Amino acid sequence: MNKQLTFRYMEEKDIDQILKVEHESFTTPWSRESFENELTKNQFAVYIVFEEEKEVFGYCGMWLIADEAHITNIALLPQYRGKKLGEALLRKVIEVAREKGAKSMTLEVRVTNYIAQSLYRKLGFQDGAIRKGYYTDNHEDALVMWVNL
């Protein structure tokens, strides 16, 4: 039997599961307070979770400002990576951004994260500028990527 994979908007009750994804994905994970603020105070924030039988295993956040969507973060639990689920999640977020009127989307990615860059390019993102020392954990540069929607 195939397990049910679904997308939905993130809710405050998801934060514990999201923090697990964060801590298994990033060297400098966001805090509970950061996610609470995004969900309750940031009028521009839209977060989508990807779940399997009510267990969140991935999510993606974006800010929708005017007609531009800016990806804030995207992550999957390690055991869900390499199965085209990150691509499915990003495709869903692009669809939501379009529905909400976005004409373009942008994001930052570590210059050494070739796997993510490959996914973004597959979905039409182009290389833009370099943000020097963008990441606070090791001062790695970020590649800014963008796509017209």
Positions annotated as catalytic residues are 108, 120
Say what angle helices 85-99 and 114-122 make with each other, to 10 degrees: 50
Work out the end-to-end distance of the chain between its first and last CA atoms, rounded to an integer number of angstroms.
36
Inter-residue contact 36 to 14 (CB < 8 Å): no
